[in-house]
Amino acid sequence: MRNINEDTITQAVLAAMAGCNNDRLRTVMTSLVQHLHSFARDVKLSESEWAYAINFLTEVGHITDEKRQEFVLLSDTLGLSMLVTTQNNRKPAECTEATVLGPFFVAGAPEYRNGDDISNGAAGLPCFVAGRIRGLSGEPVAGAAIEVWQSDEDGYYDVQYGDSQDPNVEFQARGRLQTLPDGLFHFRSILAEAYPIPHDGPVGRMLDALGRHPWRPAHLHFWITAPGYEPLITHVFRNGDKYLDSDAVFGVRSTLIVDWVEHSPGIAPDGTAMDTPFYTLDYDFVLNPVAHGS
């Protein structure tokens, strides 16, 4: 260990982990060390560049709090989140594709009944969402739990407003509901709009330096769970959005692109008389059964 040089240091680090009793940890850390050392050699990493990288990661940590997850943004914008999601959610082609969770999911959103308005005052044109959840064989999935969340017309999620939000309104444009006995669900929300991910921090500076934009195409998040089926975390994207082919987090899949249909003032699907234009969205989800013995 006293005469380690740039050619022998990798093996020295690996040898130092020989006492690790966790096989998976040793596998992961061995590969990580090998790839990091190979990267440093490949690009001939300078001391100033490594110091800059450490400062960058430190800033990512400092700006992260309970309402903003800059590390998730970093992972998302480097494509790592979607890579991990894809390789861990291989399903039959008939199943709904998974995509990234994103940094704005919030546990403990309010429960709603089918037909309720989950927008809770969030700004945006009315949108009536409906669909069915079924299994791979076509069977309706009753009682499936659905978490849904989205940004408002200005491109902000409720948690991004912080202290400026009405203290009497904690959750907007997000909620939980369950499918009906026939697998159907329906609720009222607002029209999904494109928005930029937070780019006033280190990840935003990285995107600028790389000549990339921070925009995501308009979408609605879903997290669906039901006994006997694999969980599904996905988005539904609004057809026609100009950012569908350049999503900042690489989350778009063609099977998840859907028409949001515009309607003139009139009677909404729930029977409400609307004096403004409104939209409808219909999308069915197909869940993958849990493998036998899982």
**pLDDT single digits (tens) 61-112:** 999 988 789 999 999 999 999 999 999 999 999 999 999 998 889 899 999 9
pLDDT tens-digit map of 197-249: 999 999 999 999 999 999 999 999 999 999 999 999 999 999 999 999 999 99
pLDDT tens-digit map of 16-61: 999 999 999 999 999 999 999 999 999 999 999 999 999 999 999 9
State the pLDDT at residue 67.
77
State the pLDDT at residue 68.
85
Task: Give the percent of the chain with pLDDT over 90.
Answer: 88
State the pLDDT at residue 2.
78
Torsion of CA 260, 266, 271, 277, to 10 degrees: 40
State the pLDDT at residue 291.
82
State the pLDDT at residue 167.
55
State the pLDDT at residue 59.
98
State the pLDDT at residue 274.
94
State the pLDDT at residue 102.
86
As a whole number, mean pLDDT of residues 143-151 equals 97
State the pLDDT at residue 170.
77
* Domains of the chain as residue ranges with CATH: 9-63 (no CATH), 79-287 (2.60.130.10)
State the pLDDT at residue 292.
62
User: What confidence tier does 169 reach under pLDDT thresholds 50, 70, 90?
Assistant: low
State the pLDDT at residue 161.
81
State the pLDDT at residue 163.
61
pLDDT tens-digit map of 239-283: 999 999 999 999 999 999 999 999 999 999 999 999 999 999 999
Round the average pLDDT of the chain to a whole number and report it. Answer: 94
